[in-house]
Structure 1
Amino acid sequence: MYHDLIISGSGGQGALFAGQLLAYAAMDAGYQVTWMPSYGPEMRGGTAHCTVIVADAPIGAPLVRNPQTVIALNRPSLDKYEPLVATGGFLIYNSSLVGREPHRPDIALVAVPGSDLAREVGDERVLNMVMLGAFLRLRPILPLEEVCRALERHMAKRRHELLTLNTAALRRGFSALTVPVPL
């Protein structure tokens, strides 16, 4: 098994944390993992993305030019990464926020009203977990329950009051998609 993805949004949307959680969960499950964060000069409001690779064999390099999956939390991320998704790949985007439809006919385009679902759960700041949950439904590289357990194990102790909210957001994103998305 080998899967690579990019999670991208603006600083403060939690793109890096979502990727880090996926990497920790995969590592806990015994997989080979890379997680490479990148962010602009501003911590909040600047651009932020991370690349995650999960594999059952050693990973040659952490760089990904044409990811199998992109999770775009905002419009600049959609604009930047839509052209880069590998043919046959997935573009999962926050339809609550991006303001346009992607147009690639050779990839699966998956609209998730992430910001709306996060507000339903109780806080728009858990958008990242909603979108990660949707990704896990489409690309079940790990069971949802393993990711929920990793959240509990790896979330900073000072943030544990947010554990229930984040877990609910993961589950809401997972349940938001009920059918497979055909190419």
Structure 2
Amino acid sequence: MLHAALLALTLQAAPDPVAEFEALCMAARGEDAAIEAAALTRGYAPVEATQEEEAGSDRADPPPRVWARTDGEVETRVISAPGRMRLAGPWLPVHRCYISAPGDFTGARAAAAALTGVDPFRQRETAVFAWTEHEDGRRPISQARFERGMIPLLRDRGLQVVLVSETRDGVTLSYVTARR
């Protein structure tokens, strides 16, 4: 009984991963200095990147920067990992920001759909939300168009991408857009 009460308090103290993602990654549009300012304001502290975070950012330039916040026994990490992407042709510099936190994939996917206003498509075990901004609002990008032309969409059309993935410890929400 005591364990259940402590678990309930810990879960109540855990931040909403999608709200943290919106405030840290999306509001900053993936820009490192803005992510850092928001992270510090929200009580995160700089920490060393794990080997997994380093490995996931093998083309990062500069290397990934990580901030963590602990609420009870729950740790939320925000990672800023500017990088480069290439399918064919020259490398494209991109902003990448992601949050790793305890959470439910189904709930995070639904919250990301509400946040972005875009229906996701699946790529393996990841929900992908892709859109471009226009004067009349967001225009979703179909899976076929995304897979055929992601780099030109990022480079020329301002493509923004949110990825929601289930992890062994919770969820990861990622934001990717081209660096200008």
TM-score range with shorter-chain normalisation? 0.3 to 0.5
- More strand, by proportion: 2
Instruction: Give the TM-score normalised by structure 1.
Output: 0.33
Scaled by the length of structure 2, what TM-score is found?
0.33
Of structures 1 and 2, the larger Rg is shown by 2
